[in-house]
């Protein structure tokens, strides 16, 4: 049986800075070789408040694919009902709805090899958030109206591989920062 994907939030803290609260989530994940990841399902990284403005998504990672050329990753926004745990989404992606799967990073190839220094992912790729939207809230970027909130939002990692390629089990570390007024 292939190794399962797991995630651990080791820090989720906030600090006030001139009237805004700055948050950081530190997330360590072990990406498995299970059908969840090789099938291209979303892997939740961390919950994001609707009024959060994501300012940084940094990562370190082991080599996640078997030949170094077939894996691309998108980082985007998903929503789920407030009662659903992000760990439950690892087992059942049907509980999550994609709002914008590549708003923060689109077609990243950095996970094809090991990344050993903390690297910024926000804005990577061809269709990622542009400067005009850089300071928009999660709710605005996701196109969700105020008042439509029996939901919680989360940053998701969506891998895709070419036919015949495989993802190998490996570690990934994320530091996600956001501000909230």
Taking only the tens place, the pLDDT of each residue in 35-89 is: 555 566 788 899 998 889 998 999 998 888 777 667 888 899 998 888 888 888 7
Q: What is the pLDDT of residues 6-23, one digit of tens each?
A: 666 665 556 666 667 888
Q: What is the pLDDT of residues 76-94, one digit of tens each?
A: 999 888 888 888 877 667 7
Is residue 146 pLDDT above 90, yes or no? no
Q: Phi/psi at 177 (nearest 5 deg)?
A: -120, 145
Q: What is the pLDDT of residues 79-135, one digit of tens each?
A: 888 888 888 877 667 788 888 888 888 888 888 888 999 999 887 766 566 666 777
- Give the separation between CA 31 and CA 49, rounded to whole angstroms: 25
The pTM assigned to this predicted structure is 0.85
Is residue 2 pLDDT above 50, yes or no? no
* CB 119, CB 59: distance < 8 Å: yes
């Amino acid at each position: 049986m292939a190794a399962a994907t797991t995630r651990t939030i080791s820090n989720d803290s906030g600090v006030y800075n001139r009237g805004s609260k700055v948050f950081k989530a530190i997330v360590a994940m072990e990406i498995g070789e299970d059908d969840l990841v090789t099938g291209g399902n979303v892997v939740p990284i961390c919950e994001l408040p609707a009024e959060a403005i994501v300012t940084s998504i940094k990562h370190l990672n082991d080599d996640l694919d078997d030949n170094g050329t077939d894996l691309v990753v998108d980082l985007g926004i998903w929503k789920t009902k407030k009662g659903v745990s992000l760990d439950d989404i690892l087992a059942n992606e049907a509980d999550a709805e994609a709002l914008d799967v590549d708003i923060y990073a689109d077609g990243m190839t950095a996970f094809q090899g090991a990344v050993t220094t903390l690297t910024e992912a926000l804005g990577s790729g061809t269709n990622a958030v542009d400067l005009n939207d850089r300071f928009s809230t999660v709710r605005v970027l996701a196109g969700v109206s105020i008042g439509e909130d029996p939901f919680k939002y989360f940053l998701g990692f969506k891998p895709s591989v070419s036919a015949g390629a495989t993802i190998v089990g490996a570690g990934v570390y994320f530091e996600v920062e956001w501000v909230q007024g």
